[in-house]
Amino acid sequence: MNAPTGSGALECEPGRSGPIVLLPAKGFDIAKSRLGDVLDSDERRRLARATFERVAAAVLDSSRCAKLCVVSSDDAVRARALELGARLLDDCGGSFGELIAESTQALFAEDAPAALVLMGDLPALCASDLDLVVDAGCGGVPVIAPDRMNAGTNALLVTSSTATMTRFGRADSYDAHLRAFAADDITPAVINTPGLAWDLDTANDYRLLSAAACGASPVDVDARSLRRALRKLSKS
């Protein structure tokens, strides 16, 4: 794993402290392939870009997060990340779990105080969600934010002493993370908010988001109606 690239490397933004946020991102053109039954390729591209920008904006708006690092091999993602003020990490291949493990280790090799791994498909995320995670991790406590099905992990805050316990890249990563911490007698904090729990993994996730855009969501979501249904489904 190469050291972070981009102006400023891992120096914190002036007046900001806290964890370095690690945001992994596939290319906008290939992301969200599981939504192929409900969206064409151009719609998926616009949705992937919009959710990436939503998550990046939440990080940059949070005074508790020191810096945003994006890990991607895609030129368009990397260019957009730099435009937004992020730093870059190289994607050296391997599985998603390996990518996260190597990227977090790269951050700690550069003396990051903590790493907040964050998924890039959270349409309702806002800075206050991230502030809750960081506050819950005071004193080095690991923090997990599961998806709304309590299956996957949408955010994970670790320090150098718990970085080896990441278990991304599997459908049951939430339980896998809990088991990894329990094996070392560590009790993580668990944060549940709509902004952190609602992701866009399946066609049904998209249908619910689309229903929210029309003001007809069958579930109690809010988070400003999933950020106004991701700005009316990315202005489609």
Domain annotation covers residue 8 = no
- Phi, then psi, of 41 in degrees rounded to 5: -65, -40
Pull the structure tokens for residue 42. Answer: 């151009």
Give the single-character DSSP code of 92.
-
DSSP sequence for 80-92: HHHHTT-EEEE--
The answer to whether 85 and 68 are in contact (CB under 8 A) is yes
Domain annotation covers residue 209 = no
Note the residue count of the chain.
Answer: 236
Domain annotation covers residue 162 = yes
What's residue 204's pLDDT? 81
Q: By three-state DSSP, how is residue 179 classified? A: helix
| Residue whose structure tokens are 């908010």 | 193
What's residue 235's pLDDT? 53
Helix (H) or strand (E) holding 137: none
Domain annotation covers residue 4 = no
Q: What is the domain range of residue 107?
A: 20-197
**What total number of domains does the chain contain?**
1
Could you tell me the CATH number of the domain that includes residue 167?
Answer: 3.90.550.10
Domain annotation covers residue 111 = yes
Domain annotation covers residue 212 = no
What's residue 92's pLDDT? 77
pTM, entire model: 0.85
pLDDT-flagged residues of the chain (< 70): 1-16, 211-236
What pLDDT digit, counting tens, does each position of 87-126 carry? 999 887 889 999 999 999 999 999 999 999 999 999 889 9
What's residue 9's pLDDT? 46
Q: CA quadruple 95, 99, 100, 105: dihedral positive or negative?
A: positive
What pLDDT digit, counting tens, does each position of 173-197 carry? 999 999 999 999 999 999 999 899 9
What's residue 7's pLDDT? 38
